[in-house]
Structure 1
Amino acid sequence: MPNPLKKLPFVLPLWSLLSPLVAVALLLLLGGAALSGLLIALVSLCLIAAVLAAVHHAEVVAHRVGEPYGSLVLAVAVTIIEVALIVSLMLAGGESANALARDTVFSAIMIVCNGVVGLCILVGGMRHRVLAFRIEGTSPTLAVLAALSTLTLVLPAFTTSTRGPTFSQSQLMFAGVVSLVLYAAFVFVQAVRHRDYFLPAEGVDDHHAHAAPPGNKIALASLALLMVCLVGVVGLAKLLAPSIENAVRAIGAPSALVGVIVALLVLAPETLAAVRAAMHNRLQTSLNLALGSGLASIGLTIPAVAVLSLFFPHALVLGLEPVSMVLLLLTFVVGTLTLGAGRATVLQGAVHLVLFAVFLFLAVVP
């Protein structure tokens, strides 16, 4: 008689195999061609499919290696390709794009700290009433994120070695080194020294624990397909960039809105993965994804653009405008109150989502 408790083998669904391949094939087929209305719709559809496939493969990898390694893999992979997208757009845009890195990194912070965190708490709170997480992992991560954000996005507006919201070359190199050191320290604490701080809180039912984990071959295949998905997502987002820039100019919005849209597209896989984790009462995993993405965005982007700025013919604008500084300060104050309790309800989620709505509104109407 067959054992009813025997776990079935893990199988990747067909759509998750085809979506990344179709996205990359479309990317290679179109190259740098200008997109018409029909092509814009097709590229957008393939982009959404690639995002969904990326979320699926990220969850497969996370299921195999466990938390917090799965969140770390997705955050680092997304950010590395995000850096490539930022650099390529800056090189193509010339001096008009010298603030793109600042706008994209700031947007990423606001998206993950307010949009993703708020949405996860709201969705999870509506389903599970009260969500638990570990203060030992979230509060120090937010502290590192606040320090990095201030050093790289606020301080350049007040330094006097150069005119304008920029760093001198030596200051930029120092900021890059500091960012890399702090991010490396965070990864060491998360993955090695205090891994237990980033696991789901005690008493939280993790549905992954009851499902058969994928084998090594499946996990490696998902990791490879995850990379293909992310290449497809970023490549298709870059194809859509000219259409996005034209739309931004058409509505009379500031150019900083392009950085917001780029960050929204690039962070889409992590956002969906975080929301799905919150729906299954795994808010700690959601916070690992959100805050880890913000840290990776600064900790990897700033060192990369610091080195590449040596070859840029124009200064790199990093300092935020006063309105953005106020939003950043308010975000970290509210985030500290939210993540310092160990529990969250829909109220905290609503507050963060309101801050995110304010950020989006001011990006269009400064």
Structure 2
Amino acid sequence: MSRSPNALPYWTLILPPLAWLVLGVSGFADGHPLVLAIVALALAGAVFAAVHHAEVVAHRIGEPFGTLVLAIAVTIIEVALIVSVMLSAGAEKSGLARDTVFAAVMIVCNGIVGTCLLVGGLRHGEQDFRVSGANTALTVLAALAILTLVMPNYLSAAPGPVLSTSQLAFAGVTSLALYGVFVFIQTVRHRDYFLSGEAPQDESVHAEVPGTRTTFTSAIALVVCLVAVVLLAKRLSPAVERAVEAAGAPEAVVGIVIAALVLLPEGVAATRAAHANRLQTSLNLALGSALASIGLTIPTVAAVFVWNDMPLALGIGGMETVLLSLTLLVSTLTLATGRTTILQGAVHLVLFAAYLFLSVTH
């Protein structure tokens, strides 16, 4: 974050329009290896610019509202991307929402959380956080994940890993309701659960609060960056699909890549917070992203598919169910004491590596 509250670094203002320029130009030479490499670089630049602007906005509005900015903004755009791809491809992509949401949960709970715990533990030894807030988020996450990703496999109203129209509507309404209650708890009723009691070793936290003009500029730039991230990711997705098909990997790998690209801003922001000894902020970002991914994606996709009378596959397979159950169990143990070390980070990263390996080879 810039040291001056009224001055943003030039690179954070140059990269967003540059990303859009690359997006526009790349349409004239779509599929060329050099163009794809430039698109990937523009995507990375937009991600880092988005993280910076999100931190400016978060510093102005304070915690825990700040951690909601990036999570909800990215998830809304992620939903738009998923819905647009699924509607254009029809029944062929009926499982894309499931694959992407499951990938988001695994990336967040194992990849991002594991990286944060490892990075924070290597620099600070032990790190503290509020058990009440973390457990609240994990409780809602477990309920949403099991009800939407596992339960469809054990119902008989519709064949296969799908829900009937009434069940799909119920899943969408309950997911949105649970997420809404969580946001109310996080921001109003029990806001203190998600506030760190430790003094962070990060000078940007103690810097002067950004002015109104700077905050407004960052808010606009954040939206511009996030839309560019998703559109650039969509531009890369055909190449990713071709590579996945050429490698003979399962189609679910496409969902993993989409989720990873969209979650890059949250991952970078959460890791930076852990490195600055702000583990509470890291967990708020990570778990909040996973909750938003399910709580907003499932209701929106459910509404679209019920309206268009299209099939929507939600139930995950046996291997994925085992990995999800193990992830929730390990996460419960990790967040049980309020203190973490590099060991917990290593365990989550091993689970993440197992998820990636098994997703490609099973």
* Shorter-normalised TM range: over 0.9
CA contact (8 A) 1:201 1:284 kept: no
Q: Which residue of 2 aligns with 1:3?
A: none
Flag the 1:357–1:234 CA change in 2: closer, same or farther, 3 A.
same
Partner residue in 2 for 1:334: 330
Deviation (angstroms), 1:219: 0.7
Distance 1:252 1:225 in 2: 39
User: Could you tell me which residue of structure 2 aligns to residue 232 of structure 1?
Assistant: 228
Aligned mates of 1:96, 1:196 — CA distance in 2: 45
Distance 1:198 1:47, change over 3 A: same
| 279-288 or 204-213, larger mean C-alpha shift | 204-213
Q: Helix, strand or coil: the match of 2:354?
A: helix
User: How many Å apart are 1:46 and its aligned residue?
Assistant: 0.3
Query: Which residue does the alignment assign to 1:266?
Result: 262
Judge conservation of contact 1:71–1:288 (CA < 8 Å) in 2.
yes
Q: 2:92 aligns with which of 93, 96, 108?
A: 96
Question: 1:24 Cα shift?
Answer: 1.8
Gaps of 5+ in 2: none
Paired amino acid for 1:333: L
Once the two structures are superposed, the pairs formed by residues 1-366 of structure 1 within 5 Å of their partners are: 8-31=4-27, 34-205=30-201, 207-312=203-308, 314-366=310-362
Separation in 2, partners of 1:39, 1:30: 6
Q: Percent identity?
A: 58
Residues 233-261 of structure 1: per-residue CA shift (max 9 Å, x gap): 00000000100000001111000000000
C-alpha distance after superposition, 1:156-185 (max 9, x if no partner): 111100000000001000100000000000
Q: Distance in 2 between matches of 1:33 and 1:141?
A: 44
Alpha-carbon distance in 1 for matches of 2:34, 2:28: 16
Deviations 1:249-294 (A, max 9, x none): 1111000000000000000000000000000000000000000000
Moved more, 32-41 or 44-53: 32-41
CA 1:175 to 1:267, structure 2 compared with 1: closer, same or farther past 3 Å? same
Cα RMSD (Å): 1.4
Structure 1: where are the runs of 5+ without partners?
1-6
Contact 1:10 / 1:213 at 8 angstroms: preserved in 2?
no
Deviation at 1:202, TM superposition (A): 3.2
One-letter code aligned to 1:179: S
How many residue pairs were aligned?
Answer: 360
Give, in whole Å, the separation in 1 of the partners of 2:361 and 2:215: 45
CA apart distance, 1:11 = 1.1
1:164/1:12 CA distance change after superposition, 3 Å: same
Whether the 8 Å contact between 2:26 and 2:35 is mirrored in structure 1 is no
What displacement does 1:26 show? 2.4
Give me the whole-angstrom Cα distance separating, in 1, the residues matched to 2:351 and 2:4: 44
Q: TM-score, normalised by structure 2?
A: 0.97
Q: 1:9 to 1:87 in 2, by over 3 A?
A: closer
Deviation per residue, 1:207-228 (Å, 9 max, x gap): 3342122101111110110010
1:210 alignment partner, SS class: coil
User: For the residues of structure 2 that align with 1:129 and 1:139, how far apart are their CA atoms?
Assistant: 22
For normalisation by structure 1, the TM-score amounts to 0.96
How far does residue 28 in structure 1 lie from its aligned partner after superposition?
3.2
Distance (Å, rounded) in 2 between the aligned partners of 1:57 and 1:258: 28
